[in-house]
A = this chain, B = another copy of it.
Amino acid sequence: MLPNDVKNIFRNYIREKGLRNTRQREEILDAFFSAEKHITVEKLFASIKAKNPGIGYATVHRNLTLLCECGLADEMKIGRQKTRYEPKFGQKHHDHLICLKCGRFIEVNDNKIEKLQDKLAELNDFIPVRHKLEIYGICKDCK
């Protein structure tokens, strides 16, 4: 079961925008926060469809977009792959090590790197807003 805070963020966002809550929305929210991180629409759709064959792909897609809008999800594009989504709630920023063999995502954070990035931006008279650091290589299980 997922924290009530998460549900409330979503429900409040929906109400505030004059939208409506639906069975599908609750299902998608639940499934998304229970599923593997960095999931594609396709996979999330499949997992929901297993229990609710009536669900539509477009509905899942649309609601993932909504989840991004209200800050409960982040969209990520890795190379030519399909867009992935990762649930976001009360966790700080992180970067990824991505295994070239098995595709595993390892979440990492290095405060020194983050600080140096800010320095680097400043040095170039550049105001950093967000960043993406991906290290591709071979994970311990694959070597």
Contacts and interface: CB of A to CB of B under 8 A. Distances in A.
Interface of A: 77, 79-80, 97, 99-100, 106, 108, 110, 112-113, 116-117, 119-121, 124-140, 143
A140 B126 contact: yes
Contact of A120 (B77, B113, B131): B113
A1 to B, nearest CB: 30
A137 B132 contact: no
A130 B136 contact: yes
Contacts of A106: 124, 126
B121 A137 contact: yes
B128 A131 contact: no
A129 B143 CA distance: 12
